Structure 1
Amino acid sequence: MYNIAIDGPAGAGKSSIAKALSKKLGFIYIDTGAMYRAVALFFLENGIKDSSDNEIDKLLDELDINIKYTDGEQRVFLNNVDVSDKLRQEEIGKLASRFSALKSVREKLVALQRKLTKKENVIMDGRDIGTVVLPNADLKIYLSAGSKVRAKRRYLELIEKGFDSAALDEKAIENEIIKRDEADMNREISPLKKAEDAYYMDTSDMTFDEVVSKILDMVEKER
Structure 2
Amino acid sequence: MTQSFTVAIDGPAAAGKGTISKAVAAHFGFAHLDTGLLYRAVGRRTLDGVDAIEAAQALTAEELELGDLRTAEIAQAASKVAVIPEVRAALVDFQRAFARRAGGAVLDGRDIGTVICPHAEVKLFVTASPEVRAERRFLELLAKGAEVTRAQVLADVRERDARDADRSTAPMKPAEDAVLLDTSDLSIEEALGKAIALVTAQRPTGL
Give your verdict on TM over 0.5: yes
CA gap of 1:180–1:158, structure 2 versus 1, over 3 A, is same
Q: Partner amino acid for 1:182?
A: A
TM-score (norm 1): 0.78
In structure 1, distance between residues paired with 2:151 and 2:81: 29
CA gap of 1:174–1:126, structure 2 versus 1, over 3 A, is same
Q: Contact 2:110/2:172 (CA < 8 Å) preserved in 1?
A: yes
The correspondence for 1:4, drawn from 7, 30, 34, is 7
Partner in structure 2 of residue 186 of structure 1: 166
Partner in structure 1 of residue 178 of structure 2: 198
Q: Partner amino acid for 2:11?
A: G
Q: Partner amino acid for 1:65?
A: T
Query: Are 1:151 and 2:134 counterparts?
Result: yes
In structure 2, distance between residues paired with 1:157 and 1:43: 25
CA gap of 1:93–1:194, structure 2 versus 1, over 3 A, is closer
1:199-220 per-residue CA deviation (whole Å, 9 max, x = no partner) reads 0111111100111111111111
Q: Partner amino acid for 2:133?
A: R
Which structure 2 residues correspond to residues 49-88 of structure 1 after superposition, within 5 A?
A: 49=51, 51=52, 56=53, 63=58, 65-66=60-61, 77-78=62-63, 83-85=65-67, 87=69
Structure 2 unpaired stretches of 5+: none
Query: Are 1:113 and 2:95 counterparts?
Result: yes
Partner in structure 1 of residue 22 of structure 2: 19
Q: Contact 1:38/1:83 (CA < 8 Å) preserved in 2?
A: no
Q: CA RMSD in A?
A: 2.5
Aligned residues with identical type, % of pairs: 38
In structure 2, distance between residues paired with 1:174 and 1:39: 24
Max radius of gyration: which structure? 1
Partner in structure 1 of residue 50 of structure 2: 48
Q: Secondary structure at the match of 1:175?
A: helix
CA gap of 1:148–1:86, structure 2 versus 1, over 3 A, is closer
Q: Secondary structure at the match of 1:6?
A: strand
Partner in structure 1 of residue 143 of structure 2: 160
Q: CA deviation at 1:150?
A: 1.0
Q: Contact 2:83/2:164 (CA < 8 Å) preserved in 1?
A: no
Q: Contact 2:6/2:100 (CA < 8 Å) preserved in 1?
A: no
Structure 1 unpaired stretches of 5+: 67-76
Q: Contact 2:79/2:163 (CA < 8 Å) preserved in 1?
A: no
Q: CA deviation at 1:127?
A: 0.9
* Count of residue pairs the alignment pairs up: 199
Q: CA deviation at 1:41?
A: 5.2
The correspondence for 1:135, drawn from 118, 140, 156, is 118
